[in-house]
Amino acid sequence: MMTAQQYEESLRKLNFVIYMFGERVANPVDNHIIRPSMNAVAKTYELAHQPEHEDLMTAVSHLSGKRINRFTHIHQSVSDLVKKTKMGRLLGAHTGCCFQRCVGMDALNALSIVTHDIDAKRGTKYNERFLKYLAYVQENDLTCDGAMTDPKGDRSLPPHKQQDPDMYMRVVKEDQEGIVVRGAKAHQTGAVNSHEVIVMPTIAMRQEDSDYAISFALPSDAEGITYIMGRQSCDTRKLEQNLLDTGNPAFGGHEALVIFDDVFVPWDRVFMCREHEFAGPLVEKFASYHRQSYACKSGVGDVLIGAAQTVAEYNGAQKASHIRDKIIEMNHLNETLFCGSLSCAAEGHKEPSGTYCVNTLLANVSKQNVTRFPYEIARLAQDVAGGLMVTLPSAADFQSPQTGQLLEKYYRGNSDVPTESRRRILRLIENLTLGTAAVGYLTESMHGAGSPQAQRIMIARQVNMKLKQRLAKKLCGIED
């Protein structure tokens, strides 16, 4: 298993093509805006080497029998699924943001199931290819970016009817050596911190869309791949000399649009090619796993709740009954998020491939809660913090000889607490609910792993409504 330092050095060897603010980024590892997101991934390597976290952060490979980082593991039991949930909360609490490796882990597990199913029906050898690739990922402890979301263009049209056919990733050429693909993947969290990119279809496909039913893996710096970084609220604060105003200076998350411009993929890296009827099952399996992964939000919630309690004490308001009640409500909502992820893990089952998968219904219920509860937790945290959270002057003003002493005097709360400590906790709450971390805590809670409506559709499909009707009719004496 790699250490955090080895992970950082491994990224330095990659030749990414990255653009941000209209310019190419020559050195993403040391870029002040990108670096915090890399630090968050590095934490997944660091904790794996700490004895107290070994049980959650590592597992024994079913391929090699070696101990590996759990982010490269294929779930072999319900216990593995439960540990995945607990690992997510642990890392969310340690970073206060998205740590980015879940999506690759979920892609690996989904492909371990679906490649087996394709082979069983079509007589292909995708699973054999996949297992060789998996062994490579495990042996080298690689971070994988799971790339599912296409730009989609006109949402009312299927892929093959789009005015621009590149709105969904597609095969444009095929020969004995492999395939050539063209398209893009949007909202790719941690893409420039990954060694590999694993591409999957984004929706169920019909026969007419067969060219779009593809899945493959490539090195993240493969020729023809370009990354364009997205903007975040308050992102340029990371460029300032004094990082106190960032709230969480060490950690963060970042997204990119990943463009594939006629990229060659060798056959040994292709896991689906035109088997259109398996695009939907792959999307469903991946989505179920990834909706479970949002246990990480309960870890970030732990940080936000701790910050709310701290700022209440710094403000001298911790004994007010309404403050105590709000903190209780925040904890109630946060633990409910954790319960949802645990429940879909505990009700997991074994697939024909041998991989254990979460309960799809409960995974979607869990993620539906995630689209709502973090927003209420954030609202309550802002309520407890007070308006100073968004009117606090800059760190430069506190350092100014003209204004510094005045700000120290008038922004003091509890006399036993330094003004700087009050400023730091307020900036952390701002970061988690409004700033760069809000992308990972709030907006990602809403749209990550599919929109809220996507989960509602899956809930409707998975619920056995006929059974519920039979139970009701039986109790009141109705005979069909």
Residue 26 lies in a domain: no
Residue 54 lies in a domain: no
What is the per-residue pLDDT for 438?
85
DSSP string, 103-115: HHHHHHHHHHHHH
What is the per-residue pLDDT for 60?
98
Residue 317 lies in a domain: yes
Measure the CA–CA gap between 110 and 375, rounded to whole angstroms: 29
What is the per-residue pLDDT for 437?
86
Which amino acid is located at 118 in the chain? I
Whether the CB-CB separation of 100 and 193 falls below 8 Å is answered with yes
Tell me the CATH number at 334.
Answer: 1.20.140.10
Q: Which of 151, 356, 162, 185 is nearest to 260 (CA)?
A: 185
Give the dihedral of Cα atoms 192, 198, 201, 202; nearest 10 deg: -40
User: Regarding beta strands 214-219 and 196-199, do their DSSP bridges make them parallel or antiparallel, or are they unpaired?
Assistant: antiparallel
* Catalytic residue set: 98, 102, 189, 255, 290, 294, 296, 444
Per-residue pLDDT of the chain (480 residues; tens, 9 = 90+): 999 999 999 999 999 999 999 999 999 999 999 999 999 999 999 999 999 999 999 999 999 999 999 999 999 999 999 999 999 999 999 999 999 999 999 999 999 999 999 999 999 999 999 999 999 999 999 999 999 999 999 999 999 999 999 999 999 999 999 999 999 999 999 999 999 999 999 999 999 999 999 999 999 999 999 999 999 999 999 999 899 999 999 999 999 999 999 999 999 999 999 999 999 999 999 999 999 999 999 999 999 999 999 999 999 999 999 999 999 999 999 999 999 999 999 999 999 999 999 999 999 999 999 999 999 999 999 999 999 999 999 999 999 999 999 999 999 999 999 999 999 999 999 999 998 888 889 999 999 999 899 999 999 999 999 999 999 999 999 998
Measure the CA–CA gap between 271 and 291, rounded to whole angstroms: 23
- Looking up tokens 């694993």, which residue turns up? 198
| Structure tokens given for 36 | 């915090």
What is the per-residue pLDDT for 156?
96
Cα separation values, 10 from 2, 103, 391, Å: 9, 20, 41
Whether the CB-CB separation of 330 and 305 falls below 8 Å is answered with yes
Q: Count the alpha carbons within 13 Å of 352 in the hemisphere toward its beta carbon.
A: 9
DSSP 8-state symbol, 441: I
Residue 53 lies in a domain: no
Whether the CB-CB separation of 248 and 289 falls below 8 Å is answered with no
Q: Which of 243, 181, 187 is nearest to 211 (CA)?
A: 181
Residue spans of alpha helices (H) in 273-318: 279-292, 296-315
Residue 354 lies in a domain: yes
Give the dihedral of Cα atoms 86, 88, 91, 95; nearest 10 deg: -140
Cα separation values, 180 from 25, 170, 411, Å: 26, 9, 60
Number of domains the chain contains: 1
Domain that holds residue 404: 291-476
Residue 369 lies in a domain: yes
What is the per-residue pLDDT for 129?
98
Whether the CB-CB separation of 43 and 190 falls below 8 Å is answered with no
Q: What's the sign of the alpha-carbon dihedral 399, 401, 402, 406? A: positive
What is the per-residue pLDDT for 402?
98
Residue 215 lies in a domain: no
What is the per-residue pLDDT for 31?
96
What is the per-residue pLDDT for 480?
82
Q: Count the alpha carbons within 13 Å of 126 in the hemisphere toward its beta carbon.
A: 26
What is the per-residue pLDDT for 439?
86
Residue 470 lies in a domain: yes
Q: Count the alpha carbons within 13 Å of 473 in the hemisphere toward its beta carbon.
A: 9
User: Regarding beta strands 18-20 and 225-229, do their DSSP bridges make them parallel or antiparallel, or are they unpaired?
Assistant: parallel
